Structure 1
Amino acid sequence: MNLLLLSNSAAPGRGYLEHATEVIADHLAGVDELVFVPYALADHDAYTAKVAAALKPLGVSVRGVHEDGDPARTVAGAQAVFTGGGNSFRLLKALHEHGLIGAVRERAVAGMPYMGSSAGTNMACPTLRTTNDMPIVQPPSFTALGLVPFQINPHYLDPDPSTSHMGETREERLAQFLEENDVPVLGLREGTWLRRTGDALRLGGIAAGARLLRRGAKPREYAPGADLGELLALPAHFDTPAAG
């Protein structure tokens, strides 16, 4: 597989996708047109136009998956797919409704470049269950694309010792997930990304790296450049949906 999974699409002081321009250009080398999946936001046309403007300097044109009325057919003919961020529940609901779980997964497994940011990165996991989002809609299933055999938590935040907030920290919430699910979770901090090429998986980014949480083990820190290929050897947790 050929995956680029960004924690976020914008960094402070930089334009949309600008912090990852170099790795995106490498990921999309040889791609003339990219199919964008805008379903995480309500205004699909405006979101697609935003992505088109960001990728135009790279020589990549952008077509929205929603534009011709047959999203699965559009994905079947795509050179590459980018799934943008927004609300993960709304995005996953749309992927199921439009038959894109199977369509995107089939193309990605066959080697088509897949790129995700935030919610789009959540979609690459076996399930939705480590998203940060509010469930504004109800998907028919939490089953996602299963392009990696572990969970990801984009926008991972470390505890702030100076805050007066009394709710759970991100690590506490993920620890609760691990009480119910024996699947590792990789917390991607802002400005970081994962790059999968075949059986190789490497952490990249401009920031402080990632934190891996496992059931019954102390969290482990990884800096950009770390080899995370061992995570690809985990048993697959993807269950093919009965429909879609």
Structure 2
Amino acid sequence: MHKTSEDTAVSTNPAIVLDHVTKEFHLRHTHSMKETAMAWIKRKPIADDFQALNDVSFTINEGESVALLGLNGSGKSTSLKLVSGVLLPTNGQVLTRGRVAGLIEVGAGFHPDLSGRENVFLNAAILGMSHEETEARFDDIVAFSEIGQFIDTEVKHYSSGMFVRLAFAVAIHTEMDTLLVDEVLSVGDEPFQKKCFAKITELQQQGKTLMVVSHDLDSVKKVCQRGILLKQGQLIFDGPVEETISALRAG
């Protein structure tokens, strides 16, 4: 075991392993039979293969907090989705230890015609929690979200701020070993953001593993000690987060 600068324990056991991972997508350029026929007549390609990740390898140990950095299209979100199991690699393998929870699309499992209470149980189930686990955490989720008396109101009547706060509260209270965070470090107003950072710090102190994608470099520096820089689907730097940010800015 060794310690980070924040004195949070980090294990030498791998929590996430990407082993020579390549991910390709088949992109169609036509949307109808007519467009396909016209493209064929004009000898234009109707589809292309796009390589989002090209032979990427890295290991994140239990208890580490790591930022994936890079410009748009560099492969960051694809990497998160591979780790979460939403996508499968074209080549190579992705290995994870324990339960992985993803703040990738906050509120993606919410149904507008259900109440906040019903959506808490629905979304928690999607995130892998049992009914009993959700019941045990329900009061903490509602208190964290600051929804209060509106918990039994249909979420289609919520403001965008209320919706995001409740969705984030469910995800952050999930029983997990590894937390994946994609561009949600700036949800809600400033007081709520501070509460989110405090919760993330609490999870880190419990030894949870954190993998973060964000364009907010100030937030990244607050929560991550290590950075991995991707460029056009390839890993080009892996080191202390400050050095990774410098490498990103240097182009």
The higher-RCO structure (CA 8 Å, 6+ apart) is 2
Larger Rg: 1 or 2? 2
Of Structure 1 and Structure 2, the greater helix share is in 2
Of Structure 1 and Structure 2, the greater strand share is in 2
Structure-1-length-normalised TM-score = 0.32
Structure-2-length-normalised TM-score = 0.31
